[in-house]
Amino acid sequence: MDINTIYEAVFDGNAKAAAAAVEAVLAAGETPETILNDACIPAMAEVGAEFEEGEKFVPEMLISARAMAAAMTILRPLLVQAGVKTVGKVVLGTVHGDLHDIGKNLVGMMLEGAGFEVIDLGTDVPPQKFVDAVKQHQPDIVGMSALLTTTTKSMPATLNALAEAGVRDQVKVIIGGAPITDDFAQKIGADGFAADAGSAARVANALMGLN
Ligand code: B1M
């Protein structure tokens, strides 16, 4: 059993096989990072590509997402363990109107793996809920994810709400998601943009003055 077995299990949406393959490949000495980056993420990317080409449909996407979640249940604590210490606190959420959370969850896992404490507000998070979480948890960073072009407008709305509540200057804001670009991030006044989960961790580190 090798890393391709995990790729196939996630791609085929076989949660049981994905979990078993992750256990076996870890036992054989592979790192959780390699399994995440070289099997799980590419498998979901291929599922997305086939969906766009009309070769896969929503139920198939969902079972692949569940298989990925099964793999992540095993990988998450190991990725977190790899973080030497808590380097900062992040409040993370998918913006209002948007239910996509696979990418956001990956970003959260990579941030945890990079040593951040992550407070995950979930999906469909209204601006006021971000504001309340900033007041309650005093994070260093707010991370917003959006996958729909229609929900990207919730990002400037949340930035405005943070400013109106007087807490915008207390946090750095990182945004990401398939329709998000660096240009958009700059235009709305976010502090950082990341194209994927790995770079989200690097951008967060940079905003904390690390590396
Ligand atoms: Co949705 N969906 N979906 N969907 N879905 C897309 C996004 C879409 C592009 C598919 C398509 O039509 N080609 C399209 C959006 C079109 C657009 O707006 N331009 C779309 C649509 C239209 C919809 C619905 C409206 C469909 C419908 O009901 N008619 C509906 C909307 C529901 C809602 O949100 N209100 C919907 C529903 C769903 C499912 C529920 C079936 C499911 C989501 C399951 C879940 O998330 N729990 C789903 C899925 C799976 C997808 C696709 C196929 C895959 C998304 C995904 O998980 N990718 C997607 C097509 C695609 O992307 N090719 C699609 C894998 C993931 C690892 O990547 O999320 O991009 P991604 O995250 C990356 C980066 O973007 C980045 O890092 C991540 C990891 O590397 N990133 C960040 C993400 N957030 C970040 C935050 C950061 C930094 C980086 O900082 C904080």
Q: Is the beta carbon of 99 within 6 A of some atom in ligand 1?
A: yes
Q: What is the pLDDT of residues 50-103, one digit of tens each?
A: 876 889 887 887 788 789 889 989 988 888 787 535 578 999 999 999 999 988
**Average pLDDT of the chain to the nearest whole number:** 90
| Torsional class of 174: left (φ above 0), alpha (ψ -120 to 50), beta (otherwise) | beta
Q: Is the beta carbon of 167 within 6 A of some atom in ligand 1?
A: no
Whether 146 contacts 173, CB under 8 Å: no
Q: What is the pLDDT of residues 7-66, one digit of tens each?
A: 999 999 999 999 999 999 999 999 988 898 889 878 877 886 787 688 988 788 778 878
> Can you tell me which atom of ligand 1 is nearest the CA of 180?
75
Whether 163 contacts 111, CB under 8 Å: no
Cα-Cα-Cα-Cα torsion 52, 54, 56, 59, nearest 10 degrees, comes to: 90
Q: Using the mean position of ligand 1's atoms as its centre, give its distance from the Cα of residue 175 in Å.
A: 15
**What gap in Å lies between CA 181 and CA 66, rounded to an integer?**
28
Res. 113 pLDDT band, cuts 50 70 90:
low
**What gap in Å lies between CA 151 and CA 145, rounded to an integer?**
9
Instruction: Give the number of C-alpha atoms closer than 13 A to the C-alpha of residue 62, restricted to the C-beta side.
Output: 4
**What gap in Å lies between CA 207 and CA 134, rounded to an integer?**
17
Assign 3-class secondary structure to 185-203.
HHHHCCCEEECCHHHHHHH
Closest among 134, 80, 21 to 11, alpha carbons compared: 21
What is the per-residue pLDDT for 21?
Answer: 97
Q: Is the beta carbon of 112 within 6 A of some atom in ligand 1?
A: no
**What gap in Å lies between CA 128 and CA 137, rounded to an integer?**
14
Percentage of residues of the chain with pLDDT beyond 70: 93
* Weakest-pLDDT range from 7-11, 60-64, 112-116, 125-129: 112-116
